[in-house]
Amino acid sequence: MKTVVIITFIFSKALCFGQASMNNNANLENDFSKSTLGEGNVAAFEARAKQKVVDYCNYIQLISNKDLDEKLRLHSQKSAMTLFNSSNCLVNDSIISGSDSLLMISDFFKAVYETKFHEIEGVASDIILQDELTVLESGDYSGTISYTQTLTCYDQAGNVTNTIVENKLVGVTLSRKTKAFGTTEKIIWTVNLCDIKTGN
């Protein structure tokens, strides 16, 4: 009974987290469909970028958790990819990959899904905009976020088998992209994460 309650709670949390995240993202990006952004607009996207770091760590837990429905885990894997500006983004997380090598984001989430651990709880803290979003010659914006990432690994019995705390750096881009809204398309501003590497 306890297991059923826990699974139901996590499933509910997953749906609420995913839906709230998508709604906030759509509202923010839909509001700023104009070709140029003011300081207040950029600041709003900087705040959204910080939230995406939290979302990224939450997705690690959803994708890795073998108590959850397989369809939910696979859907979470696809949803997590949308946090990033490209499928070519690289991630460094030795506890998951088993080495210090950088993995493409798709390979990284696949490794999270297939991990030997029963569940990996991911937590992002001390999230700081190290380099503010600055406009480039292309018209896009680029910046960097630093944060502390804690990954706690559990076995099937719920015992902690490994914990690693690392400082991370993640690139952030803000660019205009075409998005479908029903039968119409709009060019809107979208903020995404890029490469995630170990910081100092």
Domains of the chain are 2-198 (3.10.450.50)
pLDDT-based confidence at residue 38 (cuts at 50, 70, 90): confident
Q: How far apart are the C-alpha atoms of 156 and 30, rounded to whole Å?
A: 42
Residue with tokens 């088993």: 98
Q: Is the pLDDT of residue 70 over 80?
A: yes
pLDDT attached to residue 58: 97
Beta strands in 6-140 (DSSP E): 90-91, 103-104, 119-135
Six-digit token pair at 165?
A: 């705390």
Q: Is the pLDDT of residue 185 over 90?
A: no
Six-digit token pair at 148?
A: 């502390």
Give, as one character, the DSSP assignment of residue 116: S
What mean pLDDT value characterizes the chain? 85
pLDDT-based confidence at residue 127 (cuts at 50, 70, 90): very high
Q: Is the pLDDT of residue 4 over 50?
A: no
pLDDT attached to residue 100: 74
Proportion of the chain above pLDDT 90, given as a percent: 63
**Closest to 58 in 3D by CA, of 123, 114, 109:** 123
pLDDT attached to residue 2: 44
Q: Is the pLDDT of residue 102 over 70?
A: yes
Q: Is the pLDDT of residue 1 over 90?
A: no
169 vs 36, residue with greater confidence? 169
Six-digit token pair at 164?
A: 């690693």
The lowest-confidence range among 38-52, 69-83, 175-189 is: 175-189
CA atoms within 13 A on the CB side of 110: 6
